[in-house]
Amino acid sequence: MTLLESGPGTATPARVVFATAPDRYRHWTLETEGGVATLTLTVDEHGGLVPGYDLKMNSYDLGVDIELYDAVQRLRFEHPEVGAVVVTGGMDRMFCAGANIRMLAQSSHAWKVNFCKFTNETRNGIEDASAVSGQTYIAALNGTAAGGGYELALACEHIVLVDDGSSAVSLPEVPLLGVLPGTGGLTRVVDKRHVRKDRADVFATKTEGARGRTAVDWGLVDESVPRGQFAEAVRTRAEEAAAHSTREGGRGVTLSPLQREETDDRITYRHVEARLDRAARRVDLLVTGPDQDPPADAAGVLDEGVDYYPMALARELDELILHLRTNELQLGTWVIRTRGDARRLLAYDAQLDELAGDWFVNEVTHFLKRTFKRLDVTSRSLIAVIEPGSCFAGTLLELALACDRQYMLDGIPEDPIPGIDAADGPAALTVGPANLGRYPMGNGLSRLESRFYGHDDDLAAAAASAGEPLDAAAAMDLGLVTVAPDDLDWEDELRIALEERASLSPDALTGLEANHRFVGPETVETKIFGRLTAWQNWIFLRPNASGPDGALRRFGSGTRASFDTARV
C-alpha cells in the first residue's frame, strides 16, 4: 500500500479499504460451537496497516479494528444460532495492550481522531448487539488488558479476569502518554460500571491498574478466577447467556462482497452514488429508492438476504461513509439527494414494522440505525436537497433530518434546471412511522424529536402529518425544511449556501455541527463522542502529548516527557 506523508514523522495509507472477510483476517479468529462464538485476538506483530511500527503485546491499529467490526457484523447476520460471544486473547498472559503507541506517535492528527472515532463506533456496536440482538458479549481476560484492551472489555456485558498474581486491567493513558483513553474508557468506568469517582480517579492515574480482588471490589471486572478454573468459568457464563438468548437459530445471511465501481471522481453502488467535486471540496450523494416491491413475507425477505433493499442500503451507505470520512478529508460538504418511488419505500417501512419480531428484519433495522448514527457523528457539513423526483420519505427522510440544513424546491420549474425533470411534479417529502422512533440518535431521541426539542406542539404537528406527502409550503409550515426557494432563486440559493460553507473554518464547523446535532439528554454514547471530539481532539494537538518532547514521542525511549505545566 502506498503512503502519503502527512508532516514530519507521520505516515498514513493513501487509501483505507474497510471490506474484509474471515479468510483474510490477520489478527482475529472467529469460531462457533452451538450457541457460543469465540473471538480470539492474536495480533500479527508485523501486520500493521502501514509501515513504521510493530504490533507487539497484542496492541492494535485501525486494521485490527476493521477486522473486529467485520466479525461483529458477521456474527449478527451470518450466525442467528449464536447467543453469546466470548472475546479473549491468544497470547500467554496478555489479552490486549491497547492501541499501538508507535502508530499513534507517527500518525497525523486526523488519522488519530478518525481511528478513535471508528473504534468507538465498533465498541458501541458490540454493546448494541448485547442490547438488541440477543448476543451477549463476554470478555475473557486471559491476561493483562491495558488501555484500549480494557476499553474493549468494557464494551462487553460481563468481564472475567484471570487471577494469576500479575494480570491486571488498567487505563494508563494519562500517566504514560499524556492523552485520554480514546474509546470511552473513562466514561464507561463511571457511567456503565458505576465505579466510584474517587476510585476511578486513582485507577486512571495509576499505570499498573488493578488486579484480582481489588478489580472485583471496585467494579472494574465482574469476576477474578484462578487460571486453573478460568476456562470453565468463562464457558459457564457463555452457556448461561446463550441459554437465555432471544436468538432463533436457523439460516443466516452471508455478507457477500459489495459490488462497487470507482473512478477518481465517482463511487457507484446499486442504490448509492457519490460524485466527488474536488474543486468545490464537495461530495454529491444520490440515494435511490427500491426498484421493486417488498417480498411477500419473512421467508421472502430472508431469501433476498443482502439484496433486500433496506439491507443493501445500510451496507452501501455504511461503507461509503467510512470511505469518504477516512480517505477524502478535503471534501468537507456532503450534499444529499434521493430519487425514487416514495410509495414503494414506505411499503418497505411498513414491512419492517410488520416483521419486527423476525431476527433478520430486526438486525436490518438496527443496522440502519447504526448507519444513520455514523452519519450523525461524521465531521462533515450535511446539506439535504429536496427536488422533484426526490424520495425523502420514512427511512430515507432520516437522511434529510440528519442534515444541518434542508433546501426544498417550491413548485414546478418553468425553465429547465440541470438535473431536474419537471415531469416529476413538485417536490414532496413524507414523514412516516420510521421517523417516530425507529432509528434513535445517540442521545436516545428520534431525529424529529431532536429537531423540535423544546417545541412539543411542532413535534406533534409533524408526527400528525405521517403518511401525507408534503409539498414545500406544507413542509415549511411544519418546520421540516430550512429554506424553500422557487425556481427563480433555487440555483442561486444553493450555490451561495455551498460556497459560503466551503469558505468557513473546517475546525469551527466540526465543533458547530457536533454541538447542534445532539440536543437534549446526555447518554453514555453522547458523552463518549462529545468528550472525544472536544477533549481528546484538543489533547492530541497539544505539545504535552504530540510535541517533539511530548509523552507520545518519548514513550519507550527511557526519557521522560517534558510538560508545559501551565493549566489551560
Give the mean pLDDT of 283-302: 97
For helices 524-531 and 109-132, the axis angle rounded to 10 degrees is: 170
Same domain, 301 and 229: no
Same domain, 183 and 119: yes
Same domain, 270 and 396: yes
Which of 485, 510, 535 terminates a domain? The answer is 510
**Residue 301, in any domain of the structure:** yes
Instruction: Report the pLDDT value the prediction gives residue 541, as an integer from 0 to 100.
Output: 86
Same domain, 237 and 266: no
The pTM of the full predicted model, rounded to 2 decimals, is 0.95
For helices 359-376 and 109-132, the axis angle rounded to 10 degrees is: 150
Same domain, 222 and 281: no
**Residues above pLDDT 90, as percent of the chain:** 86
Which of 468, 494, 510 terminates a domain? The answer is 510
Rg of the chain, C-alpha, whole Å: 24
For 324-348, what is each residue's pLDDT tens digit? 999 999 999 999 999 999 999 999 9
Same domain, 363 and 230: no
**Residue 542, in any domain of the structure:** no
Q: Domain with 282 in it: what CATH number? A: 3.90.226.10
Distance between CA atoms of residues 370 and 525, nearest Å: 12
Cell numbers given for 440: 434513535
Instruction: Report the pLDDT value the prediction gives residue 420, as an integer from 0 to 100.
Output: 85
- With cut-offs at 50, 70 and 90, classify the pLDDT of residue 218: very high
**Residue 534, in any domain of the structure:** no
Instruction: Report the pLDDT value the prediction gives residue 5, as an integer from 0 to 100.
Output: 32
For 137-156, what is each residue's pLDDT tens digit? 999 999 999 999 999 999 99
Number of domains in the chain: 2
Same domain, 220 and 297: no
Same domain, 223 and 357: no
Same domain, 222 and 271: no
Describe the chain by its helix, strand, coil percentages, rounded to 5.
Answer: 45, 15, 40
CB 188 within 8 A of CB 154: yes
Distance between CA atoms of residues 557 and 101, nearest Å: 12
Same domain, 135 and 273: no
**Residue 466, in any domain of the structure:** yes
**Residue 205, in any domain of the structure:** yes
Instruction: Report the pLDDT value the prediction gives residue 558, as an integer from 0 to 100.
Output: 86
**Residue 236, in any domain of the structure:** yes
**Residue 519, in any domain of the structure:** no
Which of 187, 208, 243 terminates a domain? The answer is 243
**Residue 567, in any domain of the structure:** no
Same domain, 458 and 495: yes
Q: What is the mean pLDDT of the chain?
A: 94
**Range(s) of the domain holding residue 210:** 3-243
Same domain, 209 and 342: no
Write the CB contacts of 525 (distance below 8 Å, at least 6 apart in sequence). 124, 442, 443
